Structure 1
Amino acid sequence: MRICRSLIAASLAVLPLMLWGDAHAAGPLMAGPLVAGATDTAALAARLRGADLKRGFDPDHGYLVERHHPGVDGTRITRMAHTYKGVRVFQSESVLVTNDIGKIVSESASDRRAGLGYGAASAKMGGRFSSFSVQPAIPPQAALNAAATALAPRAMDVIKPSAELIVYPHVASVRTAAAVNKTDGELNAIDLEERVTGYELAYLVRTRMVAAGSRPVYYDSIVSATDGRLLKQWNALQTVIGSGNSQYNGTVPLSTTLSNGVYSMRDPLRGTGGTFGAMAITNADHGRTAGAVYTNATNTWGDGQQYIEGGSTTNANGQTAAVNAMWGLMNTYDMLKNTLGWQSLDGNNTATYIAAHVNTAYDNAYYDDTCRCMFIGDGSFFTNLGSIDVIGHEMSHGVTAATSNLTYFGESGGLNESSSDIGGEVTEAYARAGGTGTTIPSSGNDWLIGAEISRTGTPLRWMYKPSKDGLSPDAWRSGLGNLDVHYSSGPNNRMFYFLARGSESSTSSERYSPYLTRMPRAMTGIGTDKAFRIWFRANTTKFTASTNYVDARAKMLLAAQELYGVASREATAVQRAYAAINVGTDVDEAGGGGGLSISSQPASVTAAPGVIADFSVTVGGGVAPYRYQWMRNGADIAGATGPTYSVVARSRHNGAGYSVRVSDSAATPSSVTSATARLTVTGSNVTERVVNGSFEAGSYGWSGTTSAIGSAAGQAAYDGVRFAWLGGNGYGSRESLSQAVSIPASATAADLSFALHVDTAEFDSPNYPYDKLTVTVKDAAGQLLGTLASFSNLSRASGYQVHAYSLLAYKGQTVTLTFDMREDVSLQTSFVIDKVSVRTQ
């Protein structure tokens, strides 16, 4: 009898916000200064610990205050890291909003602690980590060496590297129960959830170095504190991948300082303290350090021309890069302060600076978290990076770093980069309208990132249609977090554009979304000012370091409800804007009735081979006549352009999904897509070739490791009560199951299908297939004819996935199907197989 070996993954819980009080009235909301000592962090931590004990966490769990910043209406935000035995749990934190008397207004959390310790909560992971040790086996220096060696062994440190001991949760993205049988193309972001699968003691190593040619090498790394393995590594340099020119704004006023007859680019009106005592622009003079603050004998700066490579960085031509930077800095500061009451990057009015002329002909700009400052290159492929949207972008990285600190990889990294694109476009709109006022205009910006810095006029990114760059997706898709953050930002950029400006219903428009299926077909925007207020509130008071697209949608909706009301059009717009990028479901707008809609959806059909299967749709509203386009598995079917589509059922069509896209004849056509109907093909001329494919008769018909067949706690059957459980041992092992099947020479179709569930305790990073299952076809002599599929610990899923493969290439033969599992020396992976079928026709 087998013991339960499946990994019971602990859910990555995003705690619901607990709200006190009514939603604020619509209108500008301003952040207030943080009063030192006004928030009793010890009392807050004590309240959270008390709640933890009730939730089943043992006393080894605690809290560490990471940072404070102001909120709106006199509120203050406290971000508290979760700790275990005094060690921070990576990306696990609580965000508390308190009022002026210290009462908690709201709480947002990303909790990755479940499973640690001996409390009742650890039962979610079977108590496997009840005695988790926080004593490292290797010293910090060994972790530093491992990270540096993997990056650039000969690079020089800009600042001293650091190694923080952390508890690193291994996190897997798994399907929800409702999405088990969906294809990847049918997945919505809400169909996946993140689950903690295990813990490892590790070091978070921060290295800030320069390599040959003064190239910045800024990375964060997760290094195992047990054996020095590199678990995760990501680029921490927050850039826009570009540079800029110097003819963006014409003649502009600058705020400078006069001292002893010399003018300097220190702004006495914005920011205090910091490295230079005020907001400042410095001259890196082609180096990698900030250099000195710009000075001039007169208060007239620059010549308005692109920097001439090799020339002086202090003459009029060289000063223009500094003019660009100062103008961008002033407008970004003023936009945040005048519209939101937010001062500087951290909200506490701490001065920052921008270093111009960094490196030589440098085609980049970046935010540096070590100095909370920005560096701007002169460019070669591009022009000088000082355009208003680029400066706003980089300064917005500083705001995110001071608040949510979205980790710069995966989906959170894409949201971090998108937040900066949003900040850049909002700053551009504000500056183009004169740089004054308490609201952000809905015009003036181009919704293009870096168009001005391009020598060809081609921008770096299109917010309304991200895919125009050839790399960024327009909507969320499975695997989005594996893209570079400058591309995974695309869907959220599009969300913000739709939220501010709305979408269009014409399928030929670049502002059309096929995911908006409710009424009206074109969603209505709420204006840039309201869209930015919602985004800023969510980012500063609700997002955590691990926030992904699903979490962002939920917290954006809460922010809209707090600002404008639960049933407000602004809250509806948030739902629609995220639905437009395949995150969550679409909803109707108030007053949206009367538009084109589907009154009768196509129904699923079961038919024998050779029988005609009909799919029909009924529509109403809009403007007749209607135009139809039927699709099979999302692809257009040529000639299928009527309200009914008929197909002769064939074995190869079994399980296919049919839907239809309908458009009306309005001057601005509306379009709607139906639900998907399934075709199931059955019939007497279809023959099942596998014996006992659901294992309900035990080992009958099967050979090999037949002890794997049965039922056991910890796994469920896909069909009936029995299944075949290969692996799950947690030590070096090999198991297999085989059965011979005959494929008639006359077969016109021969399809293998089986249901497979994979769960694992293996690490999610690095992405290495430690444990494997292969599905092969062999001849009567045992010689390999072909490998149909290969699965591993990387194939983990929350439930069964159905896989299908054609065996028609083996017709006229008797072949042996083999499921062969190999497990390495540690950490189990379970491959659970059920409902094996070979159907021939």
Structure 2
Amino acid sequence: MNRKNALAAGVAAALVMGSVSVLATQSTAVADPGVSRSGAGFRAMTADARGEAIRTAERNATAVARELGLDSAERLVAKDVLIDTDGARHVRYDRTYRGLPVIGGDLVVHLAADGAITGSDLSHQGPVRVSGISPKVSAAAASAAAVKHAKHVRNAKAEDSDSSTLVVYAVGETPVLAWRSTVTGTGESGPASREAVIVDADSGAPLDHYELHQSITGTGNGVTSGQVSIETSQVAGGYTLTDTAHGNTIVHDSYNSPQSNPRLYARTFTRTTNSWGNGTASSRESAAVDASYGLAKTWDYFKNSFNRSGIRNDGRGAPAYVHVDNGLLNAFYDDNCFCMFFGDGSSQNANTPVTALDVAGHEMSHGVTAATANLLYSGESGGLNEATSDIFGTMVEFTAANNGDPGDYYIGEKLNMPGGYMRRMDNPSADGNSLSCWTSRAGTVDVHYSSGIGNHFFYLASEGTGAKTIGGRAHNGTTCNNDTFSGIGKEKAAAVWYRALSAYMTSTTNYAGARTATLQAAADLYGTNSQERYIVSKAWAAVGVGTALPDPGNGGGTPTPTPTPTPPSGNALTNGGFEQGTTGWTQSADIITDSTLRPAHGGSRYAWMMGYGAPAVETVSQSNIAVPSTGSPKLTFWLKVSTQEYGLTAYDTLKVKINGTTLATWSNADASASYVQKTVDLSAYKGQTVKLEFAGTEDTYLSTIFLVDDVAIG
């Protein structure tokens, strides 16, 4: 992921025995080219080893925060550590600011085996600062505003008197003090649906809202798994549905407790014999068998494929509850209680329990997402959250190899739904609602519909294009750009997705960021110039996210021609839009990029200069430019300036130089919300051959980013 960040993109540090020392320059995690690594490249860890790794990360948290240039009021809290097979580590932290949780403050720090920081991925770039932590809006007023602004539930009301929590909301470019409130009402998850609403703590204006039950709506055909083996435990007088082989996962009978308190009447399942259910919904045990089987198969998938031991990678099983509420056509995972819940369906599907195999895999995978990237359940990150569960729920179905429920890329095909399925990964838009291709409205539609973009990508990366029959069902891999290519196989595609989710994605990752993360993951696992990475790029291009990489020329797929942009009329520059990478340009650092973390003005590449928050100098230049000898020659380019500085004092600058002479200067005081075209008169150099240079300088405190694109001399 060729980009800069608040680590100062070039400052690496060693974390050894709790100390930090500057070692080298590197901006991202470094792939081992040409090496294929199983298990998504991660080592298996015991609970004790993982615990010690997290404690080490906690001891180093203050030093890491300092190296990242975070504010003195910020603290890092270690959440998880993943260790690569070569000893490299990926440490995931959450942030607090003056004791308040920071929504969108999570980050991942990447370290080589010797402890050197090789890069980081931050949900919010740079330090978090707000003017104060005393809200102008009271908690009660925030709750009232949350009720007013709720979008996902009807007849909303505050969950309780303490439903509002003061937080720092850092999802946008400028962090703000906010209230996070919980409201309840009737919604997609049933009559007791819950929604989080974020409101500005100074004005009460709404900032964000999202469902708290990350759910899949639907049900199964009674015992959809058929006759299966399940793990139980023997107790005095009989057996219980306690699976000691999978973290002591226990399946309870909710006994129709209300969704608002689904454990109210809950009881354990017990039998004098070790034979459970009768294969129909007439037995309360039948749904429990499906749930126990599905959760065990999901555990096995993550363990066997990625060396992950349970949802939180700590060896603990999450309790599950079947027969929740009455007429509940839903299943959901709740990270607050580390629990999974399954309803009995409704008259819409003949009251069949919501316990199908891919449902269990989907819900348990929501827990894995919460324990890793914790993708916010709104906007494009919410679509990625849902897509992740669909992807791994599908993989569980494939790996379970159940003859009664063969693997396919239909979601909920065993559920008794009117259309025969809930979603299709090969053709998401077939349901009439889901998006098959990325559009600018992807962040505004329901997350179950925007998940279609990620689902479509995964199908194409796995299977490629064309018509196929998979699991006895018709599939047709069509694309948004009319491209055709072969896939890399579902196992490799899933490994890429899991590594990207675990090591690179953060809570606010969008689809462009997911492309960057998966390309880095593919490079880690299979090599930078691998066919696998190339196909990943083609699959993203096929759903409208970015462009395909150049064909590495090692077989497979039909290359997508890389269009050559038409240069501005009369442009004396070579590759003024940077679309051919460094062709024609000389750079002092890794400046010319196609990173999706910042926008290009045109095409996909641009020059990203500065943004370190520390003393730094950078240049990008082109020599032997023939300035026109007639007319009034001029330099034009597009510039976007983003800064953490305050006021109009020029602390950080970008200078335009011709033959070493500065002709124009821009600074942090020229910050703009979008690109602005700049013009520099070159009449003094008419008919000459010159060197053009963009030179950036940054001071010791706070960062400024200068983005340059579409440069022309004519």
Q: Please, what TM-score do these two structures have when normalized by structure 1?
A: 0.58
Judging changes above 3 Å, is the alpha-carbon distance between structure 1 residues 87 and 427 closer, same or farther for their aligned structure 2 residues?
A: same
Q: Report the equivalent of 1:464.
A: 426
**Residues 120-150 of structure 1, C-alpha deviation per residue, up to 9 Å, x if partnerless?**
xxxxxxxxx7xx2222223434433443565
Q: CA contact under 8 A between 1:516 and 1:579: conserved in structure 2?
A: no
Which of 330, 341, 352 does residue 296 from structure 2 map onto? 330
Q: What is the CA–CA distance in structure 2 between the aligned matches of 1:594 and 1:428, rounded to whole Å?
A: 27
Judging changes above 3 Å, is the alpha-carbon distance between structure 1 residues 421 and 159 closer, same or farther for their aligned structure 2 residues?
A: farther
Which of 41, 46, 68 does residue 62 from structure 2 map onto? 46
Instruction: Give the number of equivalent residue pairs.
Output: 537
The RMSD of aligned alpha carbons is: 3.9
**Residues 548-597 of structure 1, C-alpha deviation per residue, up to 9 Å, x if partnerless?**
00110001111111111111111111111111111111243635699799
Q: What is the CA–CA distance in structure 1 between the aligned matches of 2:496 and 2:376, rounded to whole Å?
A: 21
Unaligned runs of 5+ in 1: 1-10, 118-128, 172-195, 273-277, 309-316, 436-442, 607-715, 719-795, 801-841
Q: CA contact under 8 A between 1:33 and 1:70: conserved in structure 2?
A: no
| SS, match of residue 60 in structure 2 | helix
Q: Report the equivalent of 2:241.
A: 265
The correspondence of residues 505-520 of structure 1 with structure 2, limited to 5 A, is 510-515=476-481, 517=483
Which of 303, 311, 323 does residue 345 from structure 1 map onto? 311
| SS, match of residue 138 in structure 1 | coil
| SS, match of residue 38 in structure 1 | helix
Q: What is the CA–CA distance in structure 1 between the aligned matches of 2:114 and 2:303, rounded to whole Å?
A: 24
Unaligned runs of 5+ in 2: 10-26, 469-473, 570-635, 639-672, 678-714
| SS, match of residue 252 in structure 1 | coil
Judging changes above 3 Å, is the alpha-carbon distance between structure 1 residues 261 and 242 closer, same or farther for their aligned structure 2 residues?
A: same
Q: Please state how far the C-alpha of 1:46 moved relative to its aligned partner.
A: 3.2
Q: What is the CA–CA distance in structure 1 between the aligned matches of 2:202 and 2:565, rounded to whole Å?
A: 57
One-letter amino acid of the counterpart of residue 457, structure 2: M
**1:65 equivalent in alignment to 2:27:** no
The correspondence of residues 439-588 of structure 1 with structure 2, limited to 5 A, is 444-456=406-418, 458-504=420-466, 510-515=476-481, 517=483, 522-587=484-549, 588=551
One-letter amino acid of the counterpart of residue 496, structure 2: I
% same residue: 32
Q: Please, what TM-score do these two structures have when normalized by structure 2?
A: 0.67
| SS, match of residue 246 in structure 1 | coil
Q: Report the equivalent of 1:255.
A: 231
Q: Report the equivalent of 1:205.
A: 181
Which of 270, 276, 283 does residue 301 from structure 1 map onto? 276
Q: Please state how far the C-alpha of 1:524 moved relative to its aligned partner.
A: 1.8
Q: Please state how far the C-alpha of 1:389 moved relative to its aligned partner.
A: 0.7
Q: CA contact under 8 A between 1:68 and 1:76: conserved in structure 2?
A: no
Q: CA contact under 8 A between 1:223 and 1:231: conserved in structure 2?
A: yes
Judging changes above 3 Å, is the alpha-carbon distance between structure 1 residues 361 and 474 closer, same or farther for their aligned structure 2 residues?
A: same
Q: What is the CA–CA distance in structure 2 between the aligned matches of 1:420 and 1:235, rounded to whole Å?
A: 15
One-letter amino acid of the counterpart of residue 276, structure 2: W
Judging changes above 3 Å, is the alpha-carbon distance between structure 1 residues 14 and 480 closer, same or farther for their aligned structure 2 residues?
A: farther
Q: CA contact under 8 A between 2:320 and 2:340: conserved in structure 1?
A: yes
Q: What is the CA–CA distance in structure 2 between the aligned matches of 1:603 and 1:22, rounded to whole Å?
A: 36
Q: What is the CA–CA distance in structure 2 between the aligned matches of 1:47 and 1:569, rounded to whole Å?
A: 39
**1:134 equivalent in alignment to 2:133:** yes
| SS, match of residue 482 in structure 1 | coil
Q: Please state how far the C-alpha of 1:446 moved relative to its aligned partner.
A: 1.4
One-letter amino acid of the counterpart of residue 268, structure 2: V
| SS, match of residue 242 in structure 1 | coil
Q: What is the CA–CA distance in structure 1 between the aligned matches of 2:530 and 2:429, rounded to whole Å?
A: 31
Q: Please state how far the C-alpha of 1:243 moved relative to its aligned partner.
A: 1.7
**Residues 459-494 of structure 1, C-alpha deviation per residue, up to 9 Å, x if partnerless?**
100000001001112111111110000000001101
Which of 192, 199, 219 does residue 195 from structure 2 map onto? 219
Q: CA contact under 8 A between 1:12 and 1:111: conserved in structure 2?
A: no
Q: CA contact under 8 A between 1:553 and 1:583: conserved in structure 2?
A: yes
Judging changes above 3 Å, is the alpha-carbon distance between structure 1 residues 157 and 342 closer, same or farther for their aligned structure 2 residues?
A: farther
Q: Please state how far the C-alpha of 1:455 moved relative to its aligned partner.
A: 4.4
Q: Report the equivalent of 1:833.
A: none
Q: CA contact under 8 A between 1:95 and 1:109: conserved in structure 2?
A: yes
Q: CA contact under 8 A between 2:143 and 2:158: conserved in structure 1?
A: no
**1:410 equivalent in alignment to 2:379:** yes
One-letter amino acid of the counterpart of residue 77, structure 2: V
Q: Which moved more, 1:143-152 or 1:239-248?
A: 143-152
Judging changes above 3 Å, is the alpha-carbon distance between structure 1 residues 374 and 591 closer, same or farther for their aligned structure 2 residues?
A: same
| SS, match of residue 365 in structure 2 | helix
Which of 553, 563, 575 does residue 590 from structure 1 map onto? 553
| SS, match of residue 352 in structure 1 | coil
**Residues 215-267 of structure 1, C-alpha deviation per residue, up to 9 Å, x if partnerless?**
22211111222243333222121011212222422210111111111211111
Judging changes above 3 Å, is the alpha-carbon distance between structure 1 residues 52 and 540 closer, same or farther for their aligned structure 2 residues?
A: closer
| SS, match of residue 502 in structure 2 | helix
Q: CA contact under 8 A between 1:60 and 1:85: conserved in structure 2?
A: no
Q: What is the CA–CA distance in structure 1 between the aligned matches of 2:559 and 2:176, rounded to whole Å?
A: 54
Q: What is the CA–CA distance in structure 2 between the aligned matches of 1:52 and 1:553, rounded to whole Å?
A: 24
Q: CA contact under 8 A between 1:206 and 1:221: conserved in structure 2?
A: yes
**Residues 391-441 of structure 1, C-alpha deviation per residue, up to 9 Å, x if partnerless?**
100000010011110000000000000000001100000111699xxxxxx
Which of 359, 362, 369 does residue 390 from structure 1 map onto? 359
Which of 366, 369, 386 does residue 400 from structure 1 map onto? 369
Q: Report the equivalent of 2:38.
A: 27
Which of 390, 394, 403 does residue 421 from structure 1 map onto? 390
Q: What is the CA–CA distance in structure 2 between the aligned matches of 1:15 and 1:578, rounded to whole Å?
A: 29
| SS, match of residue 219 in structure 2 | coil
Q: What is the CA–CA distance in structure 1 between the aligned matches of 2:496 and 2:322, rounded to whole Å?
A: 33
Q: Report the equivalent of 2:216.
A: 240
Q: CA contact under 8 A between 2:437 and 2:480: conserved in structure 1?
A: no
Judging changes above 3 Å, is the alpha-carbon distance between structure 1 residues 202 and 531 closer, same or farther for their aligned structure 2 residues?
A: same
**1:78 equivalent in alignment to 2:91:** yes
Q: Report the equivalent of 2:341.
A: 375
Q: Which moved more, 1:523-532 or 1:586-595?
A: 586-595
**Residues 741-782 of structure 1, C-alpha deviation per residue, up to 9 Å, x if partnerless?**
xxxxxxxxxxxxxxxxxxxxxxxxxxxxxxxxxxxxxxxxxx
Q: What is the CA–CA distance in structure 2 between the aligned matches of 1:572 and 1:141, rounded to whole Å?
A: 53
One-letter amino acid of the counterpart of residue 271, structure 1: G
Judging changes above 3 Å, is the alpha-carbon distance between structure 1 residues 279 and 338 closer, same or farther for their aligned structure 2 residues?
A: farther
Q: CA contact under 8 A between 1:13 and 1:110: conserved in structure 2?
A: no
Q: What is the CA–CA distance in structure 2 between the aligned matches of 1:209 and 1:591, rounded to whole Å?
A: 55
Q: What is the CA–CA distance in structure 2 between the aligned matches of 1:509 and 1:214, rounded to whole Å?
A: 32
Q: What is the CA–CA distance in structure 2 between the aligned matches of 1:245 and 1:409, rounded to whole Å?
A: 31
Q: CA contact under 8 A between 1:70 and 1:77: conserved in structure 2?
A: yes
**1:37 equivalent in alignment to 2:38:** no
Q: Please state how far the C-alpha of 1:169 moved relative to its aligned partner.
A: 4.1
Q: What is the CA–CA distance in structure 1 between the aligned matches of 2:201 and 2:563, rounded to whole Å?
A: 59
Q: CA contact under 8 A between 2:90 and 2:108: conserved in structure 1?
A: yes
**Residues 183-235 of structure 1, C-alpha deviation per residue, up to 9 Å, x if partnerless?**
xxxxxxxxxxxxx2x44311222456789997222111112222433332221
Q: Please state how far the C-alpha of 1:93 moved relative to its aligned partner.
A: 2.6
Q: What is the CA–CA distance in structure 2 between the aligned matches of 1:219 and 1:594, rounded to whole Å?
A: 44
Q: What is the CA–CA distance in structure 2 between the aligned matches of 1:12 and 1:169, rounded to whole Å?
A: 16
| SS, match of residue 515 in structure 1 | coil
Q: CA contact under 8 A between 1:79 and 1:93: conserved in structure 2?
A: yes
One-letter amino acid of the counterpart of residue 251, structure 2: A
Judging changes above 3 Å, is the alpha-carbon distance between structure 1 residues 204 and 13 closer, same or farther for their aligned structure 2 residues?
A: farther
Judging changes above 3 Å, is the alpha-carbon distance between structure 1 residues 476 and 602 closer, same or farther for their aligned structure 2 residues?
A: closer
Rg (Cα) greater in structure? 1
| SS, match of residue 550 in structure 1 | helix
Q: What is the CA–CA distance in structure 2 between the aligned matches of 1:212 and 1:27, rounded to whole Å?
A: 38
Q: Please state how far the C-alpha of 1:321 moved relative to its aligned partner.
A: 0.8
Q: CA contact under 8 A between 2:32 and 2:524: conserved in structure 1?
A: yes
The correspondence of residues 710-725 of structure 1 with structure 2, limited to 5 A, is none
